[in-house]
Amino acid sequence: MQEEINIELKNKYEKLKEYLKSLKSLVIAFSGGVDSTFLLKVAKEALGENVVAVTAKSASFPDRERKEAENFCKNEDIKYIQLVSEELQIEGFSHNPKNRCYLCKKELFNKILDYAQKENISYVAEGSNLDDNGDYRPGLQAIKELEILSPLRHIGFTKEEIRSLSKYLNLPTWNKPSFACLASRFVYGEIINEKKLSMVDRAEQILLNFGLHQVRVRIHGENLARIEVMPDEFDIILKNRDEIYTKFKSFGFDYITMDLKGYRTGSMNEVI
| Residue 54 Cα distances to 51, 84, 171, angstroms | 10, 10, 19
What 3-state DSSP class applies to 217?
Answer: strand
Same domain, 127 and 22: yes
Same domain, 24 and 156: yes
| Of 125, 154, 129, 139, nearest in space to 27 by CA | 125
Q: Which of 133, 168, 203 is the last residue of a domain?
A: 168
Q: What is the pLDDT of residues 172-209, one digit of tens each?
A: 999 999 898 999 999 999 999 999 999 999 999 999 99
* pTM (2 d.p.): 0.92
Q: What is the pLDDT of residues 68-99, one digit of tens each?
A: 999 999 999 999 999 998 889 999 999 999 99
Q: Is residue 67 part of a domain?
A: yes
CATH number at residue 255: 3.30.70
**Residues near 62 by Cβ (< 8 Å), separated by ≥ 6?**
182, 201, 204, 205
Mean pLDDT of the region 38-46: 98
pLDDT category of residue 3 using cuts at 50, 70 and 90: low
Total number of domains constituting the chain: 2
Mean pLDDT of the region 110-124: 97
Give the range among 53-62, 135-144, 233-242, 263-272 with minimum mean pLDDT.
263-272
Q: Which ranges of the chain would DSSP assign to H, the alpha helix?
A: 7-22, 34-47, 63-76, 100-118, 139-145, 151-155, 159-168, 194-209, 234-239, 241-251
Which domain covers residue 56, as residue numbers?
7-168
pLDDT at 264: 87
Q: Is residue 175 part of a domain?
A: no
Asked if 206 and 215 touch (Cβ cutoff 8 Å), the reply is: no
Q: Which of 104, 139, 168 is the last residue of a domain?
A: 168
